[in-house]
Structure 1
Amino acid sequence: MIPYARQSLDQADIDAVVGVLQSDWLTQGPTIERFERAMAERCEAGFAVAVCNATAALHIACLAAGLGPGDWLWTTPNTFLASANCGRYCGAEVDFVDIDPLTWNLDAAALAVKLERAEREGRLPKVLVAVAFSGQSCDMRRIAALAKRYGFTVIEDAAHAAGASYAGRPVGCGEFAAMTVFSFHPVKIITSAEGGMVMTNSPELAERLQRLRSHGMTRDPQQMTGPSHGPWYYEQVELGFNYRITDLQAALGLSQLNKLDEFIERRRELAARYERLLGYLPLTLPGAQPEAESSWHLYVVRLQLDQIGLTHREVFEGLRAVGVGVNLHYIPVHLQPYYRDLGFAEGDFPQAERYYAEAISLPLYPLLSDEQQDYVVEQMRQLIEIIQPLRRVGNV
C-alpha cells in the first residue's frame, strides 16, 4: 500500500536521538532550547515555545490570548478537530466560517460578512484560528486587517505549513498573526515523533506560554507573588499543564529541520507533477491563494462526480483496493456528533459540506517516487475513465 503520508527519516535523525539518550538530559534540557531557537530563526520570529503536540500548542495559545467562558472562538469547518476543540478546552463557545470554494481555506470574504453581523448582535469572536489547510495560508492580509478592526486575536494553525511562506515571509514570522502553531506529527512536513510549537513576537505571550506548558509554575522571582525561599524555590502562579516536549523529541525535530528545504522542494515537485498528470481528468485540482507559497502537506483533489459516474465512496475504496492509500481531509467539524449536540446541523456551511462530498487526499511525501506517483495517477485514470464507462454500458 502506498500511504497518503509518512515520515522521512535517515541516519542523521537516528544519531541525533541516540546522542540525547547518551547525554545527561532526556527532558527539560538544552536540546529543547536549541530546537526552539532554530525554529524561531527559520521563521524570523521572536520566540518559539515547544510542547508535546500541536493540540497542546493550540490550547495554551488560546489561554495566552485570554480566551475563556463567555468568549467565542471561530475557525474553519474544514480542519482537524483540534482547531475547534482548543476553544472548548478553555470553556469558550465555538463557531465556524465557511470555506473558499477555490482554495478550500477559511473564506476571508465570508468572515467579513459574519463579523458585521456578529458586531450588531454583540457576539464578536475573541480568537480566530485561521488554518493553513494543506500547507497554504489563508488570505492572512485581509484577516489581519479584520482583526485590527474588530479586536480579535489571530492564531494561525499552521500544523500543515512548516516551511511555507506568505507575502514573501516565512509562515510563523508573526506579521499577520499574534501566534502561529506548528505540528511535528510523523505525517507532517518535519517530525519530532510527536510535538508542536507556538511562535510569537510578544515577550509577554511567550512568557505565559512557557508557564502554561509546565503546570503554570515559575522560578523567575519577578513572576512570583513573594520573596524566594532559596535556589530550590518555585511558585505555581496559575493553572497550567504538563505539555512539555522531551529532549529526545527535540533532537529529532532539530535534525529534521536541517532537511526542511529538501523536503519542501520535493513536495513541490510532486505537487507540480500531479497538476500535469491529472489535469485532463474530471477532477478539480487545488487552487492557489494569492501571496501564499504552500508547503504541500496534502495534495487534495475534488471529484467531478457528475462526470465520473461513480460515487465518492466507490472511487475512494477503488483506489484503496489497488494499493493507493488515499485519505480524506476533512470531515466538517460541525457535523461531528459532539458539535451537532451544540446545535450545528447539515446545511450550516454548504461550501465545506460540498467539499467533503468530493474530496480525496492523494499520496504526497518526500520519499514518494515518481514511479509510485505515476502508479497513483494511472489507477485513478483507470478507475474513472475505464471502469465507470464499462459500468454504464453494463447498466444499459
Structure 2
Amino acid sequence: MRETFLPFAKPSLSEEAISEVVDSLRSGWLTTGPKLKKFEAMLREYHKVQYALCLSSATAGLQLALMALELKPGDEVITTPMTFAATLNVIEIVGATVKLVDVDRGTYNIDINNIEAAITDKTRVIMPVHFAGLPVDLDPIYSLAQKYNLTVIEDAAHSIGAEYKGRKIGSFGDIQVFSFHPNKNMTTGEGGCVVTRDNDVAKHISLTRFHGMDREAWNRFGKEGSAHYQIVYPGYKYNMMDLQAALGLHQLPFLDVFIEKRTKLVKRYYRKLAGFDPLILPKQPQYVHKHAWHLFAPTLNSDVAKISRDEFMSKLKQMNIGCSVHYEAVHLYPYYANKYGFKKGDFPNAEAIGENVVSLPLFPDMTEREQDDVLEALYTIFN
C-alpha cells in the first residue's frame, strides 16, 4: 500500500507560471488588466475564433451565454442529466425550463438519437456536455439546430483541447464554454471562458460580465484612461483577474502536452484493465479525433464486484488512492425532482452511471509507478 495519499487530480504548474503570478503581485495590478487581455488573445489564436471572453467561472459563462439569447419564461433548454449541477442550475437561474435527454451508456454523453423527440415549439437551446473531455457527436446536433432554428451552447467545461473530426472544440459552431478549475486540463485557479463567432453574443457577455459598464477598470485607471463610464445593461461581477490570467499564460502553451500525457496514461489504463471484469471502461467512438481525457471514469460492474460504489471508494482511500464521483444523476437531486417530478427510472442510463461511476487518478505529472499503485489497489480489492 502507498505510504502517501495519491490525489485523483493535480494541476501542473511551472516555475514560469508561478513567477508570472509573483510579477502580477509586485506590479500592483491584480484584477482585470493587460495580462487578461493577452490571455484572451492567446485563446482566440488557439481556437482560431473571433471572440474569447474570460470569466470568473465556466458557470458564469453558461449563465451569460443563456442570458445573451434573451430567453423568456417557459423557453426550453435541452441538456443531459449526467453532468455537474451547474449545467442545469444556470438554466433555472435565467428563468428557462430544463428539458432532459438520457445519455448513451457507453460514452456518458447525451444520446443524439433521442434529442429530436424532446424538441417542442418552446425549445430554444440544445446544451450538450462533452463529458470527461469526449466530444459529443456534434454534426447531428447542429443539423437539428438548423432544422428547428435553435442555438447550441456546448458545455465544454471538460474539453478544452479536444477535437471533433479534426476540428478543435471551440473552433466552430455557436457557443462553447470552457472551465479552468484546478482539476481541469489547464487552470487559472478558478475561471472559465466563452468562445463564439457571434458578435451580438460576445457584446452582451462583454457587458454583463462586469456590471454592465461600457469599459473595464484597466481602461479607466490607466494614465490615458477616463474615470467616467456608463452603465448600459444591468450586469454581474464575473470578471477574471490578472492574477488568474498569469497562470493561464503559461498553461495554454502546454495544454496539448498535458493532454498527450493524460492520453498516454489512459491508454495504459486500458491495456492493464483489459478483461478486468469488476470495472466497465468508457467507450471511445470512432468519430473522435482527440479526446481531452479530463477524467478517467469507469463504472463499477456491480454484478461482478459484489460491493457498492461507495464501499469501493472507501477501500481505495484506505489504500491511499484518491478518487471521486463524476457525477450522480442530477434529476434525482431534491430541487429538480420536486420541481419537475423527475423520479428514478426516468433516465436509466444516467442513473446507472451515476450509481456506479468512479473517477480514478489521472493528471499530467502522474508517474507510471503511481499508476501501478492504483492498479495494484484495484487488483487487491477485487482479488
State the TM bucket, normalised to the shorter chain.
over 0.9
1:163 matched to 2:161? The reply is yes
1:251 matched to 2:246? The reply is yes
Residue of structure 2 in register with 1:213 after alignment: 209
Residue of structure 2 in register with 1:390 after alignment: none
Residue of structure 1 in register with 2:33 after alignment: 29
Among 13, 37, 55, the alignment partner of 1:9 is 13
Q: Offset at 1:234?
A: 2.3
Among 290, 295, 301, the alignment partner of 1:298 is 295
Residue of structure 2 in register with 1:272 after alignment: 267
CA contact (8 A) 1:129 1:156 kept: yes
Helix, strand or coil: the match of 2:297? strand
Residue of structure 1 in register with 2:69 after alignment: 65
Residue of structure 2 in register with 1:77 after alignment: 81
In the alignment, residue 208 of structure 1 is paired with which amino acid? H
Q: Give structure 1 regions of 4+ aligned residues with deviation exceeding 4 angstroms.
A: none
1:101 matched to 2:105? The reply is yes
Pairs within 5 Å for 1:265-344: 265-282=260-277, 283-292=279-288, 293-342=290-339, 343-344=341-342
CA distance in 1, matches of 2:337, 2:251: 39
Superposition TM-score, scaled by structure 1 size: 0.90
CA distance in 1, matches of 2:272, 2:258: 21
CA contact (8 A) 1:139 1:290 kept: no
Among 158, 182, 197, the alignment partner of 1:186 is 182
In the alignment, residue 371 of structure 1 is paired with which amino acid? R
Q: Offset at 1:182?
A: 0.6
Q: Deviations along 1:147-180, whole A, 9 cap, x unmatched?
A: 111122111111111111112111111x23x110
Residue of structure 2 in register with 1:151 after alignment: 149
RMSD: 1.5
Residue of structure 2 in register with 1:131 after alignment: 129
CA contact (8 A) 2:170 2:195 kept: yes
Which structure has the bigger radius of gyration? 1
CA distance in 2, matches of 1:56, 1:279: 40
Helix, strand or coil: the match of 2:359? strand
Q: Deviations along 1:223-247, whole A, 9 cap, x unmatched?
A: xxxxxxx954422222210101101
Q: Offset at 1:206?
A: 1.1
Helix, strand or coil: the match of 1:347? coil
Helix, strand or coil: the match of 2:202? helix
1:52 matched to 2:56? The reply is yes
Q: Offset at 1:74?
A: 1.8
CA distance in 2, matches of 1:208, 1:313: 44
Q: Deviations along 1:7-55, whole A, 9 cap, x unmatched?
A: 1112111011111222253222111111011011111211100001111
Helix, strand or coil: the match of 1:161? coil
CA contact (8 A) 1:184 1:196 kept: yes
Among 352, 355, 360, the alignment partner of 1:354 is 352
CA contact (8 A) 2:328 2:353 kept: no
Helix, strand or coil: the match of 1:325? coil
CA distance in 1, matches of 2:285, 2:29: 43
Name the count of aligned residue pairs.
368
Among 211, 233, 240, the alignment partner of 1:238 is 233
CA distance in 2, matches of 1:311, 1:241: 43
Helix, strand or coil: the match of 1:353? helix
Residue of structure 2 in register with 1:226 after alignment: none
